[in-house]
Amino acid sequence: MTDQTNTNNEEELADFGFQSVPRGEKKDRVREVFDSVAGRYDLMNDIMSGGLHRIWKRLTVAKSGLRAGDVALDIAAGSGDLSVGLARQVGPTGAVFVTDINAKMLSLGRDRLIDAGHVGNIHILQSDAENLPFKSATFDCISIGFGLRNVTDKSAALASMLRALKPGGRALILEFSQPRIGPLESIYDFYSLQILPRLGKLLLDDAESYRYLAESIRRHPDQDALKDLMTQQGFERCEYFNFAGGIVALHVGYRI
């Protein structure tokens, strides 16, 4: 009886960085993190990646396969970098649905899209990646950039993405991953676990949020594990592309 009880308790926990928290609390904690960093989110992205995140996002959009008139979905859209790129791809005759679970981040993304001149083909919606509120077979492409590691149930999110894709549609998952070059790993660990929280403290007076962001990367499945997870949820022709020696990876999978 004791062993069964312990198993049940473990099943009710979720990773929040290096902590284990009740599954029902993780979304609220993640929301608090992004409420805290929203005002300087883009600045910190530039600092965290040395500006490389802009290149990684452009490479992701280039893999979208989108054409004029297509319909795309950007999940965990944040401040809208990927959304802007997708909107350019589909043009005024297409549509991009922009979603995030965090209202502050969604507001930032909306403002950026408006400033970029994308109004008529953009639809903004606050929603949870684990339960997307769209009909099956709606989208030609679904993207999620640096958001999957913050999702409590990654399998549920992937299943929801697959359901919402049209046959022949593709999912793009851009996420921090595991360096594949030996010396780079120790440098990356020192920077992200030691330097990044200090930068968060210096610029935002918020070391804890950036400590969580660094720790969440360590808890996220590595390249091959995420590819396997996508395959288990029904994606086909799955592959990934390493950027910056594997610090970031772009996974691509299709609904056939």
pLDDT, one tens digit per residue, over 60-101 is 999 999 999 999 999 999 889 999 999 999 999 999 999 999
- Does residue 10 register a pLDDT over 70? no
Calculate what percentage of the chain has a pLDDT beyond 90. 69
- Does residue 7 register a pLDDT over 50? no
Contact 224, 152 (CB under 8 A): no
Least confident piece of the model among 141-150, 197-206, 214-223: 197-206
In eight-state DSSP terms, residue 150 is G
Query: In the beta sheet, which residues pair with residue 20?
Result: 15
- Residue ranges of the domains in the chain? 2-30, 36-179+215-254
Question: In CATH, what is the architecture of 36-179+215-254?
Answer: 3-Layer(aba) Sandwich (3.40)
Contact 216, 149 (CB under 8 A): yes
Q: Is 76 exposed, middle or buried (0-12, 13-18, 19+ CB in 10 A)?
A: buried
pLDDT, one tens digit per residue, over 102-151 is 999 999 889 888 888 887 899 999 999 999 999 999 999 999 999 999 99
Place of tokens 């859209």: 77
pLDDT of 40 reads 81
